[in-house]
Amino acid sequence: MAPLRVLLIDDEEELVVTLAERMMLRGIEVEGVTSGADAIGRVQLVKFDVVVLDMKMPGIGGLEVMKRIRREQPGIKFILMTGRGSLEEGEEGMQEGAFAYLLKPINIEDLMKKMMEAIGV
């Protein structure tokens, strides 16, 4: 089975680097970017299975990024990370068609489980 291809988007570079490495340790092919614009650039070139997206980012916000990526790759699954204590942002994302949302700081095992569910494994 081909490895899962994941695009990780968060404005905190440290987080992107670390989380990406952890996911790679678990056998996932991860590409990390730190802005919505970079992410949109990447999806025009490379195909991904899952996008792990921070909802709150400077520049293009999470929801907007989600819409634009979907325009490029309609079948792609989104797992949202929200820093808000309220679950509103997450719920909003779910309404826009996200697969799941997780509260930051996230538990890597939860994330793995959701990603697997997203692609139907």
Partner 1 sequence: MGFLRRMIPDYWAEEGSSAKGLFRYRRLWKYSVSLTALVSLAPLIIMTVVNYYLDQKVLRVEMIHPISQHTSNTKRSLEFFIEERLSALNLIIHDKSFEDLADQKRLISIFGNMKNSFGGFVDLGLIDAKGYQRSYVGPYELKGKDYKDQSWFHEVSLRGLYVSNVFMGYRNFPHFVIAVKNEKSGEGFYVLRATIDAETPIQKIISPLDLRPSTDVFVINREGVLQTSSRFHGKILEKSSVPVPPFSSRPEVLEGHTREGQSYLLGYAYIERTPFILMIVAQRAALMKNWLSVRRDLIWFLVGSVVLILLVIFWGSIYMVSRVREADLKRDALLHNVEYTNKMASIGRLATGVAHEINNPLAIINEKAGLVKDLALRTEDFPQKEKIIKNIDSLLANVDRCSTITHRLLGFAKRMDVSLETINLELIIREVLGFLEKEASYRNISVHFHIPEGFPSIQSDRGQLQQVFLNIINNAFAAMKEGGRIDISMREERDEDAVAVTIKDNGHGISKEDLPRIFEPFFTTKKEGGVGLGLSITYGIVEKLGGRISVESTVGQATEFTVILPAKKTRF
| Interacting residues toward partner 1 by CB under 8 A | 12, 14-15, 18-19, 21-22, 25, 83-86, 103-106, 108
Residue 14 or 121: the one with the smaller Cβ distance to partner 1 is 14
Residue 43 tokens, joined:
């999806």
Q: Which is nearer to partner 1, 71 or 84 (CB)?
A: 84
Nearer to partner 1, 2 or 14 (CB): 14
Q: Is 107 exposed, middle or buried (0-12, 13-18, 19+ CB in 10 A)?
A: exposed
* Residue number with CB closer to partner 1 (45 or 86): 86
10 Å CB burial of residue 86 (0-12, 13-18, 19+) is exposed
CB of 22 to partner 1, least distance (A): 5
The CB-of-28 to partner 1 minimum distance in angstroms stands at 13
Exposure on the CB side of residue 121, measured as CA atoms within 13 A: 12
CB of 31 to partner 1, least distance (A): 17
Under a CB-based contact definition with an 8 Å cutoff, are residues 52 and 81 in contact? yes
Give the integer Cα–Cα distance in Å for 86 and 18: 26
As measured in angstroms, the least distance from the Cβ of 116 to partner 1 is: 18
